[in-house]
Chains A and B, each alone.
Chain A
Amino acid sequence: MIGETREKEIYEVLQEARRSLDEDGKLLAKVYNEPSIFDLEVKRIFSKTWVFLAHESEIPWSGDYVLRRIIDDSFIVTRDEDGEIHVLFNMCRHRGMQLCRSDAGNSSHFRCPYHGYTYQNTGKLNGVPFQKEAYGPEGLDKDEWAMTPAPRMSIYEGMIFASLNPDVPPLEEYIGDMGWYLDFYLKKSPAGLEVVGAPQRWIMPADWKLASENFIGDGYHTQSTHMSTIKAGIMRVKSPAYLKEGVQITAGKHGCLFMGFKPGSYFNYPQGIVDSMLENLNEDQVELLKEESIMPLNATVFPNLSFLHSAMAIEAEGELATSVPYLTIRVWQPMGPGKMEVWSWCLVEKDASEEFKRNSNRAYLSTFGASGTLEQDDAENWSGQTRVAGGEMSGQHYLNYSAGTKHVEPIPDGEWPGPGTAYPKNYVDFAQRHFWQTYFDHLLNGQNGS
């Protein structure tokens, strides 16, 4: 009974939070960090939607595997002897021991330490010790006792996703209109992308939603949070005033922020990548690059996958004191209310020069990732927001999410070449509100990930 009462209370709080966001542009601070809401997030978001696990280039060869999680569920992402990719629940079918305990490697088989059940990297059960003695002369039905695959698995432009929800709509449909925007990150070269080594991983006492929300469209924080990097000559802009123009996008459950670059500079990507980008992207996308000189900077694919294109100086002097471009993606993996593990990768075009790959990775890790001069300060903010939201006052403390509502209208149909809704400003809250509305839809309606 106590549980039911509590659940009813949570729904009432969430309903009121949703109403105040929709009608007044105010968000109840409590939703940043509340244990009982976290339980709902696990059941109604992370168990329902698609979740990004790995990039194909992390397991390029047959037998390669990496270990990944959806909340507390461990999966082995394997490439079998035929090159096919599998996402297998990392739990032996016999007594439920964790089969694979290494985070990456190459193996054709996984052998359970407990009683020795052995599976192929396709998931097929291959060997059972003393099978006849244990299960009789017929042995076990090996098809029945294969490893359990993730209920759904799908690959989008080299990005491997899985879902715990067998009824989740197809990944293509889930990404939907956002695909048009992800092209700028993923299709700059027909050769595709590759990761630069293993992901950075670190624990942050911050709620995953704060990072997802920041990456979906928060261009406003840069002039304050990241001022140190402007002053130090890392972010190569003369003043923060330069940052105020942009275009915010909402598309499906997702969103992004376009930012400008000096006409013809294309974020300082090397000529080879600029050429292939202009060739590989469609006419409308190229028009934005050529005529408007804008490109998506940051993006979030709901719930917890984010992208960032940027260009920053690596060195204080010399050739690398100019902006060097990079692409990073990250997963904000919840570990409980107000706590996450961050997974951060740098990706580069496969056909880029080795020199560019190295410089691009250095520009990334100088500025983003655990040691990044920009992300250090993001971590400080997200941790601080989470800390103060953990008390009781946050249950009656409302936050301002109204930027743009009084004076900014969407760009009219026909004037913006991409799908979704585009807002012609940077310092607005449309994408962030969209993130929270999507979030409330899941929690309140138990949406089926559609």
Chain B
Amino acid sequence: MMLETSVETYWEVYSFLMHEAELLDERRERDWLDLFTDDAEYLMPVRVNRERGEGDGFSEEAFYFEETRGSLELRVRRLETEYAWAEDPPSRTRHFVTNVRVAESEEEDEVAVRTNLLLYRSRGSDPKHDLISAERKDTLRKEDGQWKLRKRVILLDHSVLTTHNLSVFL
């Protein structure tokens, strides 16, 4: 894909994504939530192993995440309690965000962004780790001079998740 936006916009988007990954890896979920617009959508559809001619297998109805800003708020609020056992002790995560592609959108102040994500997750003293691989399709909107995440669709490369739960964000 060719660069379909200005170098300046590309650099801003790239910096935004790196910052976002850093917040997640540092478990600053509250700050991460602030990156979303009020009308944000955060989706991760279930993927089914289908024949080649049948498309990519993403469900239109079934999701692992079908979130709004308001439901993400609840998830973050839960992590902030003393009782979120799934993340205490926390997972050690590393969000590897690559293949950043940015295109202008039909909406003014918005860009369409595609990235590849490899999420490394390690817990406890388990020598094994979990990996989740996905493409992310984001819509970023500039509000008051700041880029915000308006929409994220996480397109898994898995038909069966190989991690015991999704208590981390992608």
Contact = CB atoms under 8 A, between A and B. Distances in A.
A401 to B, nearest CB: 22
A232 B81 contact: yes
Contacts of B79: 228
B66 A361 contact: yes
Contacts of A365: 63-66
Nearest to A383: B164
B19 interface: no
Contacts of B65: 365, 371
B6 interface: no
Contact of A380 (B63, B74, B81, B165): B165
Interface string B63-102: 1111110110111011111111111000000000000000
Interface in B32-91: 44, 46, 48-51, 54, 59-68, 70-71, 73-75, 77-87
Given A376-B86, A376-B165, A361 B61 contact: yes
Contacts of A198: 46, 48, 59, 61-62
B164 A197 contact: no
A225 B71 CA distance: 20
Contact of B165 (A196, A201, A225, A371): A371
A346 B59 CA distance: 13
Contact of B86 (A201, A313, A362, A377): A377
Given A102-B50, A103-B49, A313-B74, A200 B81 contact: no
A379 B164 contact: yes
Contacts of B71: 314-316, 320, 362, 366
* Residue of A203, A346, A365, A371 contacting most chain B CB atoms (<10 Å): A371
B84 A377 contact: yes
B46 A380 contact: no
Given A103-B48, A227-B81, A203 B62 contact: no
Contact of A199 (B62, B70, B87, B164): B62
A317 interface: yes
A103 B159 contact: yes
Contact of B77 (A199, A233, A383): A233
Interface string A174-208: 00000000000000000000001111111111100
B contact patch SS: mixed
A201 B74 contact: no
Contacts of A274: none
A263 to B, nearest CB: 27
A381 B77 contact: no
B83 A227 contact: yes
A228 B80 CA distance: 9
Contact of A200 (B49, B62, B78, B86): B62
A226 B165 CA distance: 15
Contacts of B15: none
Interface string B130-170: 00000000000000000000000000000111111111000
Contact of A197 (B44, B60, B87, B160): B60
Contacts of A200: 46, 62, 64, 161
A381 B85 contact: yes
Interface in A362-400: 362, 365-366, 369-371, 373, 375-377, 379-381, 383
Contacts of B166: 370-371, 376
B160 A370 contact: no
B128 to A, nearest CB: 9
Nearest to A345: B62
Contacts of A373: 74-75, 78
A199 to B, nearest CB: 7
B73 A370 contact: no
Interface in A224-239: 224-225, 227-229, 231-234
A341 interface: yes
A315 B62 contact: no
A318 interface: yes
Contact of A379 (B59, B67, B78, B165): B165
A105 interface: yes
B73 to A, nearest CB: 4
A214 to B, nearest CB: 14
B164 A316 contact: no
A103 B161 contact: no
Contacts of B85: 225, 228, 377, 380-381
Interface string A206-225: 10000000000000000011
Given A197-B62, A362-B71, A377-B84, 17 more contacts: A102-B51, A103-B50, A197-B46, A197-B60, A198-B46, A200-B161, A203-B161, A203-B164, A228-B84, A233-B77, A313-B74, A321-B70, A361-B63, A370-B163, A376-B165, A376-B166, A376-B167
13 contacts: A105-B51, A197-B59, A197-B63, A202-B164, A205-B164, A206-B164, A228-B81, A232-B74, A232-B78, A314-B70, A316-B71, A370-B165, A370-B166
Interface of B: 44, 46, 48-51, 54, 59-68, 70-71, 73-75, 77-87, 159-167
Q: Which 10 A-B residue pairs are closest in the complex by CB-CB distance? A: A197-B62, A197-B61, A315-B70, A371-B166, A202-B161, A376-B86, A228-B83, A227-B83, A316-B73, A232-B78
